[in-house]
Amino acid sequence: MWLHHVHGPMWAMTLPRNLAKAGVLLEERLAPPFYRRTPIVTLSESSKHELVHALGFHADRVTVVEPGIDPKFTPGGRRSETPLVVAVGRLVPVKDVPRLVRIFAQVRHRVPDARLVVVGDGYERDRIDAEIQRCGVDGSVEMVGRIDDEQLIDLYRQAWTVSSMSVREGWGMTLTEAAACGTPAVATNIAGHADAAPHDHSALLGDHDDELVDAMTAMLTDTALRERLQRGALARAAELTWESAAIGTFRSLASDAVARRTGLASS
């Protein structure tokens, strides 16, 4: 079984109160006992920690298999002449794009020529547009909706940093795609992000708004820091292939098959 992450607060973000409570009950209490003997694959060590400590799965039944990156995500092109932040994802509560807008608005006081491009669609579009207006950054934030992969890769290559303010993630796929294009990240310090984009190696991670404002400001103003993290991003991305993800998954299946046969033979 593949389990990407523990949903936790995501239930209350997307469902009415009673349904959210039912979701938490199902995820945390009712479902886990049925899968105690099932081999589980998850995307990151931090997600494994949540599965073991929050849902009670046995650590030896949970295997970490990091996802790969499509080979089309590569360095190239030219960086934007002015500081550019790119965020990619569905416009839904768990991605917390309004928080990104507020953080970016504070960064703009320190980096007046900074720009933010948000890629993606979703039912929070109106709320995000309202936050952009409220923060007074409508002239420096662009909501481009859905774009094709070629356009996305071009944006990753232009960006000085990619950013994610997600509340929960099993992995930071947009962070590693950007890393493969040589672009480091500024993101929330959550399970998934911490493994996809290690702090001070290919990203700057923060828990609080002031930390994230400082991190984004540093990324956009400190050339030596940014270049060091760009090198780290490329090195991290080079570790992530779909071939290794497939091998890791099959290895987990094979180990379980051997354990089952051994158990049958001994019985």
pLDDT in tens, 56-114: 899 988 999 999 999 999 999 999 999 999 999 999 999 999 999 999 999 999 999 99
pLDDT in tens, 3-32: 887 887 878 888 899 998 998 888 888 988
Q: How far apart are CA 189 and CA 204, in angstroms?
A: 9
Whole-structure pTM value: 0.86
pLDDT in tens, 158-198: 999 999 999 988 899 999 999 999 999 999 999 889 999 99
Q: How far apart are CA 28 and CA 41, in angstroms?
A: 17
Q: Residue 188: which region, alpha, beta or left (left: phi > 0; alpha: psi -120 to 50)? A: beta
Q: How far apart are CA 231 and CA 184, in angstroms?
A: 9
Crossing angle of helices 223-238 and 173-180, in 10° steps, is 100
**Six token digits for residue 239:** 């570790």
Please choose, from the candidates 153, 74, 80, the residue with its C-alpha nearest in 3D space to the C-alpha of residue 119: 153
pLDDT in tens, 117-164: 999 999 999 999 999 999 999 999 999 999 999 999 999 999 999 999
Residue 204 near residue 144 (C-beta atoms within 8 A): no
Q: How far apart are CA 72 and CA 212, in angstroms?
A: 30
Distance of CA 202 to CAs 87, 104, 199, 217, 227, Å? 16, 20, 6, 16, 10
CA within 13 Å, CB half, 167: 19
Mind listing the domains of the chain with CATH numbers? 10-68+241-266 (no CATH), 84-238 (3.40.50.2000)
